[in-house]
Amino acid sequence: MTERTITLLIVDDHPVVRDGLRGMFDTSPDFSVLGEATDGVEAVALTDRLDPDVVLMDLRMPGGGGVEAIAELTRRGARSRVLVLTTYDTDSDTLPAIEAGATGYLLKDAPREELFAAVRAAAEGRSVLSPAVASRLVHRVRTPQGSTRTPLSSREREVLALVAKGTPNREIARLLFISEATVKTHLTHLYAKLAVTDRAAAVATAYERGILGGP
């Protein structure tokens, strides 16, 4: 048993998932669920208000994704640790979440005790990765640079498509309902994935690789 109760915020767009997680954590005196959010925007607001030790964050949610929420919490200097809990373990999901500031990344098929242990570790600021994600990252590190290409996330492709049309960051933010800071974060990530340093090179490379279709 831990010395103190770990407080939680559950973020998931599916009510049945939120109910299941709350019921699971309510069985242990080590945890206290302070609230629930249905998307990333609400997650940021509730984290500000409730200040939980750990935010259990889904990634793909209508109305505001998890990666954008994690980046915003990082930008705000939130005390809460973010543990991603999702069904997706591809590089395009894992890497942006970790780069945005997630403390850990766990898959939803994790057993209860593994989830509890991950939350305790996250609350202490220790990194947590599911075995499948850890294996994937180790493989990536051991793969010679340039032999693989990290795919852009769907949001990064949306940002890049607007960049290709000459859209400024402020307008991109308005069209995608995200902040300018988040647009810049997406640009930083996609620049790294495309191995470029500016917008023009990113667009040119994207056309060369067929990411944006034909020129």
Q: Which residue has the higher pLDDT, 146 or 162?
A: 162
The CB-based long-range contact list for 173-181 (8 Å cut-off, 24+ gap) reads 177/64, 178/68, 179/72, 181/71, 181/72, 181/75
Q: State in Å, rounded, how far the first CA of the chain is from the last one.
A: 60
Q: Which residue has the higher pLDDT, 33 or 149?
A: 33
Four-CA torsion 161, 173, 64, 195, nearest 10 degrees = 50
What is the pLDDT at residue 159? 92
What pLDDT, in 10s, does the model give residues 148-207? 567 888 889 899 999 988 899 999 999 998 888 889 989 988 888 888 888 888 888 888
Please answer whether residues 25 and 33 qualify as being in contact, where contact means their C-beta atoms are separated by less than 8 angstroms. yes
Please answer whether residues 47 and 80 qualify as being in contact, where contact means their C-beta atoms are separated by less than 8 angstroms. yes
What is the pLDDT at residue 130? 79
Q: What does the buried/exposed string (b/e) look like for 164-192 if buried means 16 or more CB atoms within 10 Å of the residue's CB? A: beebebeebbeebebeeebbebbbebbbe
- Pairwise CA distance, residues 78 & 48, whole Å: 7
Q: Is the pLDDT of residue 39 over 80?
A: yes
Task: Choose the most confident range, by mean pLDDT, from 72-86, 118-132, 148-162, 201-215.
Answer: 72-86
Structure tokens at 145: 């640079």
What pLDDT, in 10s, does the model give residues 90-108? 767 777 888 888 998 888 8
pLDDT interval class at 213 (50, 70, 90):
low
β-sheet bridge partners, residue 7: 32
What is the pLDDT at residue 192? 85
Q: Is the pLDDT of residue 79 over 90?
A: yes
Please answer whether residues 13 and 38 qualify as being in contact, where contact means their C-beta atoms are separated by less than 8 angstroms. yes
**Which DSSP symbol is given to 179?**
-
Q: Is the pLDDT of residue 147 over 60?
A: no
Longest dimension (CA), the chain: 60
* DSSP count for the chain of H helices, then E strands: 10, 6
What is the pLDDT at residue 200? 85
